[in-house]
Amino acid sequence: MPHLTFEQIKGKFDDYVIGNYARNQVAFVHGEGSHIWDSAGNRYIDLMPGWGTTTIGHCHPHVVSAIQRQAGFLIHIDNSFYNIPQGVLAEHLSTRSFGGKCFFCNSGAEAIEASLKLARLWGRRQGRSEIVTMGGSFHGRTFGAISATGQEKYHRGYLPLLPGISHVPFNDPGALEDAVGPKTCAVLMEVIQGEGGINIAEPAYLKAVRELCDERGALLILDEVQTGMGRTGRWFGYQHYGVEPDIMALAKALGGGVPIGAITARPEVAEFLAPGTHAATFGGNPLACSAAIAVFEVIEREGLIEAGLALSKTIFERLEAMAGEYDVIRQIRGRGLMIGIELERNGQEVFEHCLRNRLRVNCTQERVVRMLPAMNTPPELVKDGLDVLEDAIEKAQRGVF
Ligand SMILES: Cc1ncc(COP(=O)(O)O)c(C=O)c1O
């Protein structure tokens, strides 16, 4: 790739790329671990790598060499045939979760689409087609996924949405009880709402959801697109709760930065996705699956789930200390390395101050500063990053912005 200045890069975007993203005035050209470099050569600490697409840092050497090796062997073969990486990856996923069978696609939204379609195929015999999801949820941007997303701002301009989907308040068992009926084929939810502001499902709630689904004959679909792959301190977020889903959707960190999505479903449910019912040209592509296999290997060989838990403890201790000092912090929330700092005011300036000072975090729901750091981020780097964040919060407290 030729070297271009920021102005040259931006010029191409201005001329040729649709402006559907509010982009910051920085172009990144290189990443390594929890560092990223911009086009002027400035180095940043990245505590929000690719909206949570890697739990193992940028360009992990094992993932890079797995991609290189597979690229020289077989980049793509379609699903009219078998291929090695897809089967191996499915085994990794199934044996670390609840023994389900997998379908592969390319993104989180596609994994949600596949989950919704499978739930309707499964429910058809009993005339069940309705799906209940949670207020404040986020499931992606395709029509099915925005219909499932319980936030009106994502629906605006796109009505009418997919029919048969209703939303209930999160963590409210009574509301769910009223909503799940004989026509319900599935309840869909995140175990921690990510984009929604790091809202954790209460243990008693998730248990009640599972029991209600069993009692009323509906499936439980968990969207683990953001919580999966060790992010919360277990392979998958549901493993903290002592309940299992019938279908789980994954993407983001699964491919270590390479686009891949997946669902895994209990075998008795999975069989409804029979030949001809659903497909994706690139789904289970050997290149993407090789990257995802390497991600599983890295997490296990390097003990990253344990490392992530230790890092999480350090981060939460520091943030709690900050919360004690700065009233502008309303609440610290999260689990593992899925972390939200809810402020009393808009967090955009905090985000911008951090970026100017070479720290990348994120701001969601206007007031929640979000971090999804990689599990192998060195503690000294996290400390440097949190120093920058504390400086921003101190300024927010004083109203300097
Ligand atoms: C919980 C959850 N589900 C689904 C999605 C959609 O994933 P994608 O952007 O890969 O389609 C996201 C993306 O942020 C997400 O956080």
- Residue 55: closest CA among 282, 262, 306: 306
Give 200 Cα–ligand 1 centroid separation in angstroms.
17
Give 116 Cα–ligand 1 centroid separation in angstroms.
14
By most ligand atoms within 8 Å of CB, the mutation choice from 252, 362, 368 for ligand 1 is: 252
Q: Give the tens place of pLDDT for each residue, 258-271.
A: 999 999 999 999 99
- Any catalytic annotation for residue 252? yes
Query: How does residue 42 score in pLDDT terms, banded at 50, 70 and 90?
Result: very high
- Give residue 385's Cα distance to chain centre: 22
Which residues on adjacent β-strands are paired with residue 248? Answer: 222, 264
Give 144 Cα–ligand 1 centroid separation in angstroms.
12
Q: Could you give the angle at the alpha carbon of 29 between the alpha carbons of 374 and 305, nearest 5°? A: 10
- Left (φ > 0), alpha (ψ -120 to 50) or beta: where does 331 sit? beta
CB 254 within 8 A of CB 260: yes
Which residues on adjacent β-strands are paired with residue 135? Answer: 150
Which tokens sit at 321?
């200390």
Query: How does residue 401 score in pLDDT terms, banded at 50, 70 and 90?
Result: confident
Omega prior to 160 cis, within 30 of 0: yes
Q: Which of 110-114, 322-326, 397-401 has the lowest mean pLDDT?
A: 397-401
Cβ of 251 below 6 Å from ligand 1: yes
- The CATH code of the domain at 6-56+303-398 is 3.90.1150.10
Cβ of 223 below 6 Å from ligand 1: yes
CA dihedral 328, 333, 338, 343 (to 10 degrees): -20
- Any catalytic annotation for residue 138? yes
- Any catalytic annotation for residue 14? no
pLDDT of residue 96: 98
CB contact set of 133 (below 8 Å; sequence gap of 6+): 139, 148, 149, 150, 165, 166, 167, 168, 187, 188, 189
Q: What is the mean pLDDT of the chain?
A: 98
Query: How does residue 2 score in pLDDT terms, banded at 50, 70 and 90?
Result: confident
pLDDT of residue 304: 98
pTM of the predicted model as reported, rounded to 2 decimal places: 0.98
pLDDT at 318 over 90: yes
Average pLDDT over residues 198-202: 98
Cβ of 226 below 6 Å from ligand 1: yes
At the topology level, CATH places domain 61-301 in Aspartate Aminotransferase; domain 2 (3.40.640)
Atom of ligand 1 nearest to the CA of 112: 4
Query: How does residue 1 score in pLDDT terms, banded at 50, 70 and 90?
Result: confident
By most ligand atoms within 8 Å of CB, the mutation choice from 51, 112, 139 for ligand 1 is: 139
Atom of ligand 1 nearest to the CA of 251: 10
CB 164 within 8 A of CB 196: no
- Left (φ > 0), alpha (ψ -120 to 50) or beta: where does 41 sit? left
pLDDT of residue 381: 98
DSSP symbols for 88-110: HHHHHHHHHTTS-EEEEESSHHH
Average pLDDT over residues 105-134: 98
User: Among the residues of 103-166, which ranges form H helices?
Assistant: 108-123, 143-148
Q: Which of 104, 138, 170, 236 is catalytic?
A: 138
Give 272 Cα–ligand 1 centroid separation in angstroms.
24
Work out the number of other CB atoms within 10 angstroms of the CB of residue 384. 14
pLDDT of residue 201: 98
HSE, side-chain direction, 13 A CA sphere, residue 267: 4
pLDDT of residue 386: 98
338-343 sheet: strands from edge to edge: 329-335, 338-343, 368-371, 362-364
Q: Give the tens place of pLDDT for each residue, 138-196.
A: 999 999 999 999 999 999 999 999 999 999 999 999 999 999 999 999 999 999 999 99
Q: Give the tens place of pLDDT for each residue, 225-258.
A: 999 999 999 999 999 999 999 999 999 999 999 9
Which tokens sit at 208?
């009640």
Average pLDDT over residues 387-394: 98
Which tokens sit at 84?
């090695």
Average pLDDT over residues 196-201: 98
Q: Which of 223, 236, 246, 272 is catalytic?
A: 223
CA-to-CA distance for 323 and 395, rounded, in angstroms?
14
Residue nearest to atom 13 of ligand 1 (CA): 140
Average pLDDT over residues 29-43: 98
CB 312 within 8 A of CB 336: yes
Q: In the chain, where are the structural domains located?
A: 6-56+303-398, 61-301
pLDDT at 89 over 90: yes
Q: Which of 103, 104, 236, 252 is catalytic?
A: 252
CB contact set of 166 (below 8 Å; sequence gap of 6+): 130, 131, 132, 133, 179
Q: Give the tens place of pLDDT for each residue, 347-376.
A: 999 999 999 999 999 999 999 999 999 999
Cβ of 109 below 6 Å from ligand 1: yes
